[in-house]
């Protein structure tokens, strides 16, 4: 487990935005992962994706690492943000925009506004 924890810590610390998900950003393999990947992609966020289905040690390790039981899991500048429900709420409230701005992560503000308009 230490190896998985080390790999997770390294991935989270060397990428500004990381999504641990089922599948890949090009081919999500669950609806929740697809939703979060879709939001990030639509908002033009450059992010690393980690397919937990490809490695059982990472799949369990990320849950232990964050002390969060579900996948997907979003990390921004090394900080655990949350899963699908939290990311969705933060997107709709504008909190995700604020987090990206506070952390210096580039994103498309107009795209974020369109998401909110479409869900108003």
pLDDT digits (tens, 9 = 90+) for 66-117: 999 999 999 999 999 999 999 999 999 999 999 999 999 999 999 999 999 9
Go through the domains of the chain in sequence order and give each one's CATH number: 2-118 (3.40.30.10)
Q: In the prediction, which pLDDT does 103 show? A: 97
Beta-carbon contacts of 101 under 8 Å, excluding residues fewer than 6 positions away, are none
SS3 14: helix
Residue 19 CA to residue 73 CA, distance in Å, equals: 6
pTM of the model: 0.95
Between CA 33 and CA 37, with CA 35 as vertex, the angle to 5 degrees is 65
């Amino acid at each position: 487990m230490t190896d998985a924890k080390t790999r997770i810590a390294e991935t989270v610390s060397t990428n500004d935005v990381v999504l641990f998900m089922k599948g890949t950003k090009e081919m999500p393999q669950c609806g929740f992962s697809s939703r979060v990947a879709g939001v990030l992609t639509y908002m033009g966020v450059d992010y690393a994706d980690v397919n937990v289905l490809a490695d059982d040690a990472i799949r369990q390790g990320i849950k232990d690492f964050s002390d969060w039981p579900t996948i997907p899991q979003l990390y921004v500048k090394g900080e655990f943000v949350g899963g699908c429900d939290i990311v969705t709420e933060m997107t709709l409230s504008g909190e995700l925009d604020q987090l990206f701005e506070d952390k210096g992560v580039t994103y498309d503000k107009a795209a974020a506004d369109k998401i909110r308009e479409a869900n108003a």
